[in-house]
Chains A and B, each alone.
Chain A
């Protein structure tokens, strides 16, 4: 029996779990078939990739690093930074729109209350 890195097993278990959540959403009609196919391909594909040896070495050499895993960390962190930035931008935008809404309501109420005086 060949030695399999435990992280590959852990990831596979996680991938099955994540996919099952998508499947449940599909059963509850919260997700359509197209989305389910997308997620199935994604998690299935990732699981397959995890078992291919040396797949990140190419990346590592490109970046001038020794280990493929280092390259994965590097990209992972970049992706995280970008995701956080996008979240921050979204939150900011929401605050702005909320204020616009509150402003509209407030002014409408004031103008409504001022009518009878005129």
Chain B
């Protein structure tokens, strides 16, 4: 199952869905699920026209909320693999094969598509910001990753069955690593190329958000629920 959380992406969601592979080696069926996180534009309609299953949140809950819903859907529909993919066109569908491979071969439970193995095209301030967040992820969760903020991830059945997402917004990226550490999931990284357009850069995270994320995660660490 390919999970695309989307909020007001009518401009690009159509082409993003179109670029997704229809077949993959070793995979029977591919269901593309778009979680429409309370969009006010035509994201849902366009996604539906392109053949995706659309789950619509009546109100916006954030990236974490949308991913959590996608995970729940995957569990209820007996899927074997789950790939998360961005709606804004930053991700390259050609990399899906590489992300799926270790999962299909049962070599890993979680695959992280990392943009920083080859950071070509990433603005320098993002490289610095990402490295900072990677360091922070390591300090808090004892899991090292070269791309803690990557939205391109793959999960085995065991992984998405057991991972519990409680974060609503963008700190969810860090929460995945918490779960990986907690559940002792086997994680590997696979290089991916990011497509930086004016649109996807504007939609991505700003470095300032990093402080907000660190604050929220630190608070959750000190006061769990």
Contacts and interface: CB of A to CB of B under 8 A. Distances in A.
Contacts of A106: 35, 55-58, 69
Contact of B72 (A88, A96, A107, A114): A107
Given A85-B223, A93-B225, A110-B73, A99 B65 contact: yes
Interface residues of A, number: 17
B223 A102 contact: no
B166 interface: yes
A115 interface: no
A103 B53 contact: no
Contact of A95 (B58, B68, B168): B168
A104 to B, nearest CB: 9
A9 interface: no
Nearest to B59: A102
Interface in A25-84: none
B87 interface: no
Contacts of B53: 110, 114
B158 interface: no
Q: Interface residues of B toward A: which range?
A: 20 to 34
A107 B76 contact: yes
Interface string B34-63: 010000000000000000011111110100
Contacts of B54: 110
Contacts of A6: none
B73 A99 contact: no
Nearest to B64: A99
A37 to B, nearest CB: 35
B76 A105 contact: no
Given A99-B68, A105-B58, A110-B56, 12 more contacts: A89-B225, A93-B225, A102-B57, A102-B59, A106-B35, A107-B72, A107-B76, A109-B55, A110-B53, A110-B55, A110-B73, A114-B53
Interface of A: 85, 88-89, 92-93, 95-96, 98-99, 102-103, 105-107, 109-110, 114
The 9 A-B pairs of least Cβ separation, nearest first, read: A99-B65, A110-B55, A103-B69, A99-B61, A102-B57, A106-B55, A106-B57, A102-B61, A99-B168
